[in-house]
Amino acid sequence: MLIQSHIVDLETPTGTMRTYVHRPAGEGRFPVILFYSEIFQQTGPIERAAKIIAGHGYAVLVPEVFHELNPIGTVLAYDDAGRDKGNADKSAKDVQGYDSDNRAMIEWVQTQPWFNGNIGAAGFCIGGHLAFRAALQPEVKATACFYATDLHTQVIPNKPGQHSMERLADIKGELLMIWGKQDNHIPTAGRVQVYQQLTDAGLSFTWHEFNGQHAFMRDEGERYDPQLAATGYQLALQLFSNTL
């Protein structure tokens, strides 16, 4: 399936948010996937991942997750300086800022002639957490979270009662949780904690743990595992096909 890409700058309560849109070329109505990047924003690997999903019949929106904290169009490098800046941004943005970002994207796609009425979410690393956060929105029917960081910590600022794991009652759609057992960002104890809380909340979710490192989906760097990445895409696309 051929795709097309364009940019839309959406207004949010915390400023203009550049959003990259990748969707099938030609006429038609498609489900939407809100796709969240790592701390580096829309890098080459994130753009390619979004296009893979779009090529299976979805309109994929990639927001600049730290738009309040950087000039429009910022992409951080996969190096120490980029990592330090991205982690600083993660520690500076209150989690509720992502809620208003999600509302801006959802309200925009609802006005688009190519939208078929169904919305899902996906993301890698902090983007896995932000996809999980998007699942709090009532319109989101299915969410694929790849090695979602900081669900088990308090690193991302939040007000009382607003931590993502304190909002589980608001999740109505299905979750797909994918992890790497060798991921030093999310230790076994953290995964166990998240699994137990999701189970206790009675959520509809599927859980997969692979022998992979953090960022095994990123097609750059020594941690990339092409076989696991192919499996990850297959699982996410199966979820979206079944629900959207």
Give catalytic residue positions: 125, 183, 214
Sheet containing 205-210: order of strands: 3-12, 15-24, 59-63, 30-36, 115-124, 140-146, 174-180, 205-210
Measure the CA–CA gap between 216 and 214, rounded to whole angstroms: 6
Give the chain's end-to-end CA distance (angstroms, integer).
18
Measure the CA–CA gap between 149 and 238, rounded to whole angstroms: 23
Which bin fits 140, alpha (ψ -120 to 50), beta or left (φ > 0)? beta
Beta strands 140-146 and 115-124, pairing class? parallel
The full length of the chain comes to: 244
CA separation, residue 242 to residues 122, 140, 223, 235, 237 (Å): 15, 14, 30, 11, 8
Measure the CA–CA gap between 191 and 64, rounded to whole angstroms: 27
